[in-house]
Amino acid sequence: MKALLLAAGFGSRLKELTKTKPKCLMEVGGQTMLDHWLGKLDKLGVTDFLINTHYLADQVDAFISTHPLCDRINISFEPTLLGTGMSLVNHLEWLKTDDCFVVHVDNYCEDSLEGMCNAFRNRPSSCDGTMLVFKTNRPRECGIVGYDDNFILTNFHEKVDDPPSSEASGAVYLFSASFLQELSSEAPTLYEVSKDLIPMMIGRINCYFTKGYFQDIGRPETLAEANRWFLKYQAH
């Protein structure tokens, strides 16, 4: 498997915290979000990583240069910040040779994701991928999912004022190589993964429901909340 780690954003919601440090290098429990995801995906058998960068990219370069997995990590600098969908499209030639995780790294995820890999391997034949779903207490800030009895996506509501539930996309996806190979024809319409790609996959992607702690660390208060959770439940 391969993995595309989306790490180029400005992290503007984090305000003062990202004035001198990129969002992907924010820490939970003393570990950067980038290292959190690299370690998790390495344990799942991901062999090659691609990280897109833009804001304070030199800091990401320096971090990766000394990382234990550096020989398996490629960095793609975006001189102009692309949408997450275009970052995916621009690297399809590299990605489509294998099944691939696509991950927004500004989320803390306790789950090992072994269950997600099992859900992907055992997905219905009509599905080209699997998406992580979690229970959120901030549904207006998330993409809310609907699904059928087989947990196949039936509807998707991205950051709406009146969300129909609290079951949200965790912006962690596992796509089949065959799907990525056919995706190029849709390239002009894919600016953002959540807004553009996932609605296209209604009926074609199944849901994996994590029972572990999951937190978007995109705001100072949610980053602090994740660190409080870590200190309470993970620190020894």
| Single-letter code of the amino acid located at 17 | L
Q: Which residues of the chain have pLDDT under 50?
A: none
- pLDDT digits 0-9 by tens, 56-89: 999 999 999 999 999 999 999 999 998 999 999 9
The pLDDT, as a whole number, for residue 236 is 60
The pLDDT, as a whole number, for residue 118 is 98
Strand partners, 27: 32
Domains of the chain: 2-233 (3.90.550.10)
Burial of 171 (0-12, 13-18, 19+ CB in 10 A): buried
Considering the entire predicted model, what is its pTM?
A: 0.95
Q: Which two tokens stand for residue 225?
A: 């909340």
What residue spans of the chain are helical by DSSP H?
33-43, 57-65, 84-90, 92-95, 114-121, 177-182, 198-200, 220-233
Say how far apart CA 65 and CA 52 lie, in whole Å. Answer: 15
- pLDDT digits 0-9 by tens, 143-153: 999 999 999 99
The pLDDT, as a whole number, for residue 190 is 84
The pLDDT, as a whole number, for residue 129 is 98
The pLDDT, as a whole number, for residue 124 is 97
The pLDDT, as a whole number, for residue 185 is 65
The pLDDT, as a whole number, for residue 75 is 98
The pLDDT, as a whole number, for residue 189 is 78
The pLDDT, as a whole number, for residue 230 is 96
In this structure, the dihedral spanned by the alpha carbons of residues 6, 7, 8 and 13, taken in order and rounded to 10 degrees, is 110
